[in-house]
Amino acid sequence: MNWAKGHEKCKSCGTTEHKHKARGLCASCYDAATEKRQKSHVTRRMGSHLPIHITKEDLEQKYNSGLSLNDIARQYNCTRQYIYKLMAQYKIARRTMSEARSLALQQGKISYSSNVLSPGKTITHEKRHVNESFFKSWTPAMAWVLGAIYTDGCLTASLRPRGQSKSAKLGKLRLREQVVLANHGDVTAQFYLAAMYKHGVQALKWYILAAEGGDELAVVARDELSRKMTPDQIADARQRAREWAPQEKQADTVFRRFKIDQKEPELLEKVRAQIGSNALIRFRGKRGVAGALHTLSIDNATVCADLRQLGVTPRKSLTITFPPMPPHLVRHFIRGCWDGDGSVYWEGNDIYIVHASYVSGSKDFIEQLMRHLVDLGLPDRTIYKSTRSKNPSYYFRYSGLPCIKLYHVLYDGVDESMYLARKHDRFKAFVGYYERQGSQAQHRPRPVSYRPRPVSSVRSVKGRLQEIRASKAALINELKSYAHSKSPQSGMSEEED
């Protein structure tokens, strides 16, 4: 086994006995390198007097102009530590760590290069931003993004609003904080705890709770783990999950991050563009039972507070209700939901048998959704309860002609930047085909007639029918190859969440 990822031994002293600290260096070499970096610019003899006296005014002016302690130290040919000491003596207020970090990011100072992670490249960190007023007023784009967040998004809480702990600053939560959050009912934290326990009754208990909270990965993990456990253990874990009750939330719980998970990055890229952010979309490959996922996460307390106001809850799937909104934006919101949890598919790849279905863990939400669809002119449909998994889910579907109406309701006059192309294209393939047929049918001579017709006329009807058959076959072929290229694992009818 390697000493560290990408390194056989310490780059500097060649040891493997001491632990790796960073950048291929052991702890003592790393500290020595840091010391050197901070002092190497000093050319005068150590201990000699400074050539220039540093006044309070000079120091204050330079510091407030945006120079760091290190920058100033370089100018005065002294160490950063000396400047730090002077600042304290002169009682000049220093920036907080987060202010200093933001400033350094703006100045492009924070960069790294790694032969392991990014060979041959230097990566400069950027200041991440987001349009903080995006969720403050209703627009079609905002309604669409909100729909996507309602179905596939998730709010993450932080217990420390001012982020005193180092781990909180890094956006990570300590185990203790995860435990507190899990006990408050935070699904992400529950999943994290379960994954940490990995095996046994405790792991299963937290997977059960996270799954009940609507975490889709937890459902898979729970079923997977159950298969490896004895019936007694499973019963024990179920019992503990039943006895568990969420603790009262502390007053200072603040939501600072929301994230959206998707199997494909397209929706995330479009959402990111809409909310005016440059946040990274991270990819995590398949790991154990958890599938590969793309994740967009936005760290911004203002945006999270707005989302909370708009009804996004941390335990989302089971508790969400349809938010009130201006009537003309409902269709945009529904399109966002459909891009998240809806699907459109052909049965056996036959263009004639198209279905559009919607699944939700919340009965309340799906009932309200149906009511809104009826208001928008769609026919009423029965909502079915699926009991395939322990948590019931609810679904309905439209087949055939109502899908055309649904297509127009969801997509008419909507820019590509506000929908998931894959679902739109599938709808459109059916609608386009049907409507082409419909317009031809109006001009087509009726094939059945009581009067005997001249031979030429019969031939032309036959020719037209052949033409239609050929175009149908061509379209189906096109769709088959389309469906195949989009999802190599299923050649037959497909449906996704």
Q: Residues interacting with Zn ion, by CB under 5 A?
A: 10, 12-13, 26, 29
Nearest-approach distance from CB 6 to Zn ion, in angstroms: 15
For tokens 């609507």, the residue is 214
Nearest-approach distance from CB 26 to Zn ion, in angstroms: 3
- Report how far Cα 13 is from the mean position of its chain's Cα atoms: 43
Q: Is 29 or 267 the residue whose CB approaches Zn ion more closely?
A: 29
Q: Is 12 or 165 the residue whose CB approaches Zn ion more closely?
A: 12
Per DSSP, 264 falls in state: S
Q: Is 116 or 273 the residue whose CB approaches Zn ion more closely?
A: 116
Question: β-strands 293-299, 25-26: how paired?
Answer: unpaired
Q: Is 18 or 480 the residue whose CB approaches Zn ion more closely?
A: 18
- Report how far Cα 243 is from the mean position of its chain's Cα atoms: 32
The DSSP bridge partners found for residue 154 are: 259
Q: Is 29 or 86 the residue whose CB approaches Zn ion more closely?
A: 29
Q: Is 14 or 288 the residue whose CB approaches Zn ion more closely?
A: 14
Using a CB cutoff of 8 Å and minimum separation of 24, what contacts does 53-59 make? 54/83, 54/86, 56/90, 56/92, 59/83, 59/86, 59/87, 59/90, 59/92
Nearest-approach distance from CB 27 to Zn ion, in angstroms: 8
Q: Is 7 or 160 the residue whose CB approaches Zn ion more closely?
A: 7
Q: Is 26 or 404 the residue whose CB approaches Zn ion more closely?
A: 26
Nearest-approach distance from CB 2 to Zn ion, in angstroms: 15
Residue 205: helix, strand or coil by DSSP?
helix
Q: Is 10 or 320 the residue whose CB approaches Zn ion more closely?
A: 10
Nearest-approach distance from CB 31 to Zn ion, in angstroms: 10
Nearest-approach distance from CB 21 to Zn ion, in angstroms: 9
CA–CA gap between residue 84 and residue 92 (Å, rounded): 10
Helix axes 200-212, 231-243, angle to 10 degrees: 50
Q: What is the CA radius of gyration of the chain?
A: 30
CB proximity list for 471: less than 8 A, separation 6 or greater: none
Q: Are 394 and 362 in contact (CB under 8 A)?
A: yes
CA–CA gap between residue 296 and residue 184 (Å, rounded): 24
Nearest-approach distance from CB 122 to Zn ion, in angstroms: 23
353: left (phi over 0), alpha (psi -120 to 50) or beta: beta
Nearest-approach distance from CB 11 to Zn ion, in angstroms: 7
Question: β-strands 111-114, 25-26: how paired?
Answer: unpaired
- Report how far Cα 104 is from the mean position of its chain's Cα atoms: 27
Q: Is 12 or 493 the residue whose CB approaches Zn ion more closely?
A: 12
CA–CA gap between residue 66 and residue 43 (Å, rounded): 24
Instruction: Give the type of residue at 256.
Output: R
Per DSSP, 217 falls in state: H
Nearest-approach distance from CB 18 to Zn ion, in angstroms: 7
Q: At 351, give phi and psi (nearest 5°).
A: -60, -25
Nearest-approach distance from CB 39 to Zn ion, in angstroms: 19
Residue 288: helix, strand or coil by DSSP?
coil
Helix (H) / strand (E) element for 119: namely strand 118-124
Nearest-approach distance from CB 35 to Zn ion, in angstroms: 14
Residue positions counted in the chain: 497
Instruction: Give the type of residue at 295.
Output: T
Q: Is 14 or 438 the residue whose CB approaches Zn ion more closely?
A: 14
The DSSP bridge partners found for residue 293 are: 284
Nearest-approach distance from CB 81 to Zn ion, in angstroms: 23
Q: Is 13 or 374 the residue whose CB approaches Zn ion more closely?
A: 13
Nearest-approach distance from CB 115 to Zn ion, in angstroms: 17
- Report how far Cα 362 is from the mean position of its chain's Cα atoms: 20
Q: Is 29 or 59 the residue whose CB approaches Zn ion more closely?
A: 29
Q: How crowded is residue 454: how many other Cβ atoms within 10 Å of its Cβ?
A: 8
